[in-house]
Amino acid sequence: MTHLAKPAPSRASHWQVAIIFAALAVAAGVLTGKAVTYGPLGTMAVLALLGGGAIALGTFSAPWVGLSALVFVTYLRLSDVLIHYHHLPSIAKPLVGLLLGLVLLRWALRREEPRGWSLPLALIGSYALVVLLSLFFAANFSTALGAVSDFVKDGIITVLVVMLLQHREDLRKVIWAMLFAGILMGSLSVYQYFSGDFDNNFGGFAQAPVLNTVGEQNEPRIAGPIGDPNFYAQILVVLFPLALNRLFSERRTLWRLLALWASIVIVLSVVFTFSRGGFLALAVVLVALSIHHKFSLVRILSVLIIMGAILPFLPGNYTARLSTLTNFLPGRGDVRNEVSFRGRASEWMVAALMFRDHPLLGVGIRNYPEHYLDYSSRLGLDPRRENREPHSFYLEIAAESGLAGILVFTAIFAYLYRAIRTARKRFEQAGAREEAEMVVSFGLALLGYLTAALFIHAAFPRYFWLLVGIGLALPQVAESLFEREASV
């Protein structure tokens, strides 16, 4: 079907835009002057209003503005940090509401109907049904109800991302929004580790709790704005293949230098988390990258140079901690001799037992900890007398939502795989090699997240649902290239 080109904006519409901007400028001046009389809080409120107004205007004319802001705020966990460390109101809720309203406004006024959102909505709705059913038999109703509330927010973000990510040029902007968040987090983490200033959390964006590293030894582990080193490593691994893609594909030197900066601080930060799961996920991503590029000598040497530059900065106990992974190999040791392995083995076995006892709908969303001690006391493997998490995304799904949850997530993973494969194929057919490689890098980023998810549960599921939204939007992003050519 041939699409007609959009008519050029009329002179009248230019005057309307000019009048709106002039009115906003006057209003901004008045508000700023008034805010001074209320001190710092008033100034911050006005800055927030002006920032929201700028995002609103930008998004109405170019959706990528709001999309990039949403991705950056979400990946940096900016709203949560402002709430917990600075006692400020949420910025995520008004931002999501604003963007959703603007999408609907563009739909109504400009007849720009967002595409591709019905499938994500169906998938989100299917899991929402599973989550709602868990309310009826959850041991802790309030916890399950909180999980329902959180999931609704995350589901809205997933669908909203699909509605906003419609064109191929916006994909690069989304990736850079994620990388800028990674540069900020990683740079703070690297500085914190080298300076040894672990008592300073840098406004909540560089947390470093004292946790177990090897045996009975404890020391600070980098945790960024997340607060847990294993989850922090997981979201950093996601960024690494995206950074390498931009390093090899950007045409301007400045952007390549930024991508190199991102690559280095991301890998160093993963190391400083002491996360074994993060290390394994990073290794899987590197192997997948090598296979995809058919062991290209230039690319492999480039990665080896980056890794070689990082080797001198490895913490003393890092290799000792990684060496404990060999305890899982036959004849190389006993996992019961390692503190964290004993607990992890108990948590996994308990999840399997919960699924065995509640195979259809599980024990209820976010209710695994409520039953943990009952099961672990029977096993006798974990001496800790405290509620624990399953420490595996997949076992968490099985234990808390049963076969119903497994089926829904299987569908989500299947559609994500199909979306990535379809988008890559369409870009290659159109000769858009750079975009095709961006899609591949996103697929590898998702692989890194899901690999790390083998060893940790979904304590911060918003990252997962953000990636789901981007992944499911990829086919329509690729299709926009053909539509644009047809309209010329």
Considering Cα of 304, then 310, then 316, then 320, what sign does the dihedral take? negative
Q: What is the average pLDDT score of the chain?
A: 85
79 is a domain residue: yes
What is the model's pLDDT at position 315? Answer: 77
What is the model's pLDDT at position 5? Answer: 41
Is 151 within 8 Å of 128 (Cβ atoms)?
yes
Strand 210-214 and strand 217-220: the pairing is antiparallel
431 is a domain residue: no
338 is a domain residue: no
What is the model's pLDDT at position 323? Answer: 72
What is the model's pLDDT at position 320? Answer: 74
For 232-291, write each residue's pLDDT tens digit.
999 999 999 999 999 999 999 999 999 999 999 999 999 999 999 999 999 999 999 888
As a whole number, mean pLDDT of residues 429-438 equals: 93
Q: What is the CA radius of gyration of the chain?
A: 24
The rounded distance, in Å, linking the Cα atoms of 463 and 443 is 15
What is the total residue count of the chain?
A: 488
Closest CA to 382 of 415, 350, 428: 350
Residue type at position 246: R
358 is a domain residue: no
Of the pLDDT bands very low, low, confident and very high (cuts 50, 70, 90), residue 376 is confident
Residue type at position 254: L
29 is a domain residue: yes
Q: Is 239 exposed, middle or buried (0-12, 13-18, 19+ CB in 10 A)?
A: buried
For 10-24, write each residue's pLDDT tens digit.
444 445 445 555 554
Q: Which of 186-200, 303-317, 360-374, 456-470 has the lowest mean pLDDT?
A: 303-317
- The DSSP symbol for 10 reads P
What is the model's pLDDT at position 255? Answer: 96
What is the model's pLDDT at position 137? Answer: 83
Q: 194: which 2 tokens? A: 């080298």
Q: Which of 48-52, 157-161, 180-184, 215-219 has the lowest mean pLDDT?
A: 48-52
Q: Which of 41-55, 126-140, 212-226, 353-367 has the lowest mean pLDDT?
A: 41-55
Residue type at position 174: V
pLDDT for 159 beyond 90: yes
The rounded distance, in Å, linking the Cα atoms of 315 and 91 is 37
Q: Domain range for residue 81? A: 20-113
As a whole number, mean pLDDT of residues 293-311 equals: 71
What is the model's pLDDT at position 412? Answer: 97
User: How many domains does the structure of the chain reveal?
Assistant: 1
What is the model's pLDDT at position 118? Answer: 93
6 is a domain residue: no
Give the rounded distance of the alpha carbon of 374 from its chain centre. 33
Phi and psi of 267, rounded to 5°? -65, -45
Beta-bridge partners for 224: 207
Phi and psi of 382, rounded to 5°? -105, 115
Tell me the CA distances in angstroms from 301 to 241, 250, 306, 412, one per residue in order: 15, 18, 9, 36
CA angle 123, 472, 263 (to 5 degrees): 130
The rounded distance, in Å, linking the Cα atoms of 241 and 254 is 19
89 is a domain residue: yes
Q: Enter the pTM of the model.
A: 0.86
Q: Which of 183-197, 228-242, 337-351, 397-411 has the lowest mean pLDDT?
A: 337-351
The rounded distance, in Å, linking the Cα atoms of 219 and 241 is 29
